[in-house]
Amino acid sequence: MQAQGQVSTSIVSNGRGPIWGQVQTPMVLVIMLGLIALISSYFGGSAQTVTEMMIRVVLVVGLYVFVGNSGILSFGHISFMSIGAYAFVWLSCCTLPMLKPMNLRGLPEFLQHIALPSPIGLLGAAVLAGAVAIVVGAILMRLSGTAASIATFAFLAGQYAFYMNWSGVTGGTALLANLPVFVGPAVGTGLAALAILIAWLHQESRFGFMLRAARDDQTAAKGSGVNVWFVRTVAFSLSGLIVGVGGAMHAGFLGIVTVDAFYLPLTFLTLAMLIVGGSRSLSGAVIGVVALTAVTEILRQFESGIPVGNSVLSLPAGLQEVGLGLAIILVMMFRPAGIMGGHELTFGSIWPKR
Amino acid sequence: MSEDHILRVTDLRIAYGRVQVLHGVSFDVPAGALVAIVGPNGAGKSSTLSAIAGGVAAAGDVRFDGRPILGLKPEAIARSGLSFVPEGRHVFASLSVEENLRIGTFMRGDRPRAERDLQLVLNYFPKLKERIRQAGGKLSGGEQQMLVIGRALMTQPKLMLIDEPSLGLAPRIVEEVYAILHRLRSQEGVSILVNEQSSRRVMNFVDEIIVLRDGRVQLKGRPSDLAKSHALHDAYFGTGTFDRDSGEAVH
């Protein structure tokens, strides 16, 4: 094809327009999380709640990388959290050296007597979860939309049953304790920022664009030369890797793990956070976590009792779950595409231009 | 003579389950020509284009630029320079016009070339230039049709297959779209094969018309020749008798 005639104006770079607009999103999100952490610590808020929120940001942002960009719902991602958490255990457990050979007799000899520094355990979690996600993704992404979703659920159930019964290596139904605790508000916020940055880089890369093109119209994407299976597998792997890091964070925050923790309740909570925030944007993923964490936190305060004048106002237990469900229904009624509705946060959207 | 023909279709047969929809269709697209397959509903037009583009399993032989392509994957065929624009204006609704256009260039590394192609497409479709930042889903029907044709063009195709570009468009817009296709063929040397229900709309723009009905080629020829006889009408509606090879009506 010969270019004929000259176009005088370049439409791609109009000053600091589009590129600046896109860079703002991860900046706004990270600043927002940083402020939440700072303000909460200044007012003596619970460091636990903040850390827990940051871990969930990592999980939901990880989930978003695949679900948001591909449009395929995944029920299987908490498996990668489990895989990440146990990889962390295998590499970095325990604070008491004799615990591992005692509890995890099935572990290979070279893993039995090591307790590597936590960052290496975290890295190992990312690598193992990512590697499993590549294999699982390469297989599942041969399926289309709904079939793929159901298959992710089957994967979750299979992985759960496998780890439950792999007693020599995972401890089975037993609780493993004495893990090194290294995740607090600061580390949590840092890793959440890293997850946001990676998700944003993926979303703005050609892989992100091709993936969303396939989400909008698979036939046309193939016709444009997009290898749909490949871009989906890439996103699934990256997404599994990030969620795996979330698993190691969970283990390195609580200091304990059980296979039980990584199953349906967390699957549905993370999906609810993504959908309430708006699964079609990175800002939606982060806002969903912040919003639902705020709702649960406020309800928890009420449950434990709030002093009003001379008396204590205390609401019945179980209100947290009911309130959470109610909040989800309300958001879905009034904003079916989630709080963000597919939009990204920018500085301009927080402080509108005069 | 594969040098003169960008596409050679020989004895193409398609069946959906037990229903045979194409019974051995053969035709050629000369390099640098704008050819239209015309026929009523259910003639097998869309199936023919889908099969060539790799979207539907078929038997027979399809040679693109001298190379057999039947059985290859759609994305492999697309990358070899054959671009398929399916029916129904498949824009990427959440991507901007510019992103829609750029998708086709992601699989190749040549950036300066991609920039040039973008400018070229926007020269051909000035309406898209006005809406470069808008989401593809927010465009009008005509603009969406132009967007999908422009997107196909971005993959630097030697041959474009376009399924019913006039579907659901106002006559004035149809004229506009075909005028652009005609210019693309003459000025860029892109070969184009379109499907249409009505031959009337394409008569003035195409080099050759192939009439398809009941899964068979009924007639082919230059529009000026076909216009003279009743053969086109007969072939389309299946009334009367005619000589299939010469296109002459036989009484």
What residues does B15 pair with on adjacent strands? B20
B130 CA: distance to closest CA in chain A (Å): 10
Task: Answer whether B158 touches A (CB < 8 Å).
Answer: no
Using the CB atoms, write b or e for A323-347: b if 16+ within 10 Å. Answer: bbeebbeebeeeeeebbbeebbbbe
> Is B120 in Cβ contact with A4 (below 8 Å)?
yes
A315 or A120, greater pLDDT: A120
A243 CA: distance to closest CA in chain B (Å): 26
Residues 191-250, chain B, touching A (beta carbon < 8 A): none
Residues 194-223, chain A, touching B (beta carbon < 8 A): 206, 209-210, 212-213, 215-217, 219-223
Task: Answer whether A307 touches B (CB < 8 Å).
Answer: no
Task: Answer whether A1 touches B (CB < 8 Å).
Answer: yes
- With tokens 């399916």, the residue in question is B86
A155 Cβ contact list (under 8 Å, min separation 6): A76, A79, A136, A140
pLDDT digits (tens, 9 = 90+) for A297-347: 888 888 887 777 788 777 777 888 888 889 889 999 999 999 999 899 988
A221 in Cβ contact with A134 (< 8 Å): no
Closest chain A residue by Cα to residue B117: A3
Nearest by CB to residue B75, choosing from A206, A212, A227, is A227
In angstroms, the CA A345 to CA A330 distance is 22
Nearest by CB to residue B90, choosing from A4, A5, A220, is A220
Closest chain B residue by Cα to residue A229: B75
A178 in Cβ contact with A95 (< 8 Å): yes
ipTM of the complex: 0.74
pLDDT at A15 (0 to 100): 38
Chain A, chain B: beta-carbon pairs less than 8 Å apart:
102
pLDDT digits (tens, 9 = 90+) for B171-220: 888 999 999 999 999 999 999 999 998 888 888 899 999 999 999 998 88
Nearest by CB to residue A1, choosing from B98, B115, B120, is B120
Task: Answer whether B115 touches A (CB < 8 Å).
Answer: yes
Tokens, residue B148: 């999908």
A34 or B237, greater pLDDT: A34
When computed from its CA atoms, the radius of gyration of chain A, rounded to whole angstroms, is 22
Pairing of strands B67-68, B82-85: unpaired
Which one of B72, B94, B154 makes the best mutation probe of the A interface by having the most chain A beta carbons within 10 Å?
Answer: B94
In angstroms, the CA B37 to CA B235 distance is 12
B78 CA: distance to closest CA in chain A (Å): 5
C-alpha closest to that of A62 among A252, A204, A196: A196
Q: How many CB atoms lie within 10 A of CB A171?
A: 22
Task: Answer whether A328 touches B (CB < 8 Å).
Answer: no
> Is A11 in Cβ contact with B122 (below 8 Å)?
yes
B106 CA: distance to closest CA in chain A (Å): 6
Task: Give this prediction's pTM.
Answer: 0.83
Per-residue pLDDT of chain B (251 residues; tens, 9 = 90+): 445 899 999 999 999 988 999 999 999 999 999 999 999 888 999 999 999 999 899 999 999 999 999 999 988 898 889 988 888 888 999 999 999 999 877 766 677 888 888 999 999 999 999 999 999 999 999 999 999 999 988 888 999 999 999 988 888 889 999 999 999 999 999 999 999 988 888 888 999 999 999 999 988 889 888 877 777 777 777 765 555 555 555 54
Residue A157 phi/psi, 5° resolution? -60, -40
CA A51 to chain centre: 14
What residues does B8 pair with on adjacent strands? B28, B63
B244 CA: distance to closest CA in chain A (Å): 34
Q: Taking residues A273-293, what's their average pLDDT?
A: 96
Task: Answer whether B99 touches A (CB < 8 Å).
Answer: yes
B103 CA: distance to closest CA in chain A (Å): 6
Q: Taking residues A177-206, what's their average pLDDT?
A: 96
Task: Answer whether B150 touches A (CB < 8 Å).
Answer: no
pLDDT at A10 (0 to 100): 34
Task: Answer whether B111 touches A (CB < 8 Å).
Answer: no
Closest chain B residue by Cα to residue A220: B90
Burial tier of B90 (Cβ tally within 10 Å: 0-12, 13-18, 19+): buried
C-alpha closest to that of A90 among A127, A47, A52: A127
What residues does B23 pair with on adjacent strands? B13
B228 CA: distance to closest CA in chain A (Å): 36
pLDDT at A352 (0 to 100): 58
C-alpha closest to that of B104 among B160, B157, B151, B163: B151
> Is A227 in Cβ contact with B92 (below 8 Å)?
no
* DSSP letters spanning A255-323: S-B-GGGSSHHHHHHHHHHHHHH-TTSHHHHHHHHHHHHHHHHHHHHHHH-EEETTEEE-PPTTHHHHH
pLDDT at A96 (0 to 100): 83
Mean pLDDT of chain A: 89
pLDDT at B241 (0 to 100): 53
What residues does B212 pair with on adjacent strands? B217
Nearest by CB to residue A220, choosing from B92, B99, B115, is B92
Residue A2 has pLDDT above 50, yes or no: no
Q: Which residues of A touch B85 (CB under 8 A)?
A: 223
pLDDT at A151 (0 to 100): 97
Closest chain A residue by Cα to residue B119: A7
A38 Cβ contact list (under 8 Å, min separation 6): none
Q: Lowest mean pLDDT of A1-10, A127-136, A227-236, name the range.
A: A1-10
Residue A349 has pLDDT above 80, yes or no: no
- With tokens 């009941």, the residue in question is B214
- With tokens 């008396």, the residue in question is A311
Q: Which residues of B touch A205 (CB under 8 A)?
A: none
pLDDT digits (tens, 9 = 90+) for A126-179: 999 999 999 999 999 999 889 999 999 999 999 999 999 999 999 999 999 999
C-alpha closest to that of B128 among B152, B101, B155: B101
Which one of B92, B127, B147 makes the best mutation probe of the A interface by having the most chain A beta carbons within 10 Å?
Answer: B92
A209 CA: distance to closest CA in chain B (Å): 7
Closest chain B residue by Cα to residue A206: B106
Residues 2-41, chain A, touching B (beta carbon < 8 A): 2-5, 7, 11-12, 18
Nearest by CB to residue A2, choosing from B79, B118, B188, is B188
Could you please state the CATH topology (level 3) that the domain comprising B5-86+157-237 is classified under: Rossmann fold (3.40.50)
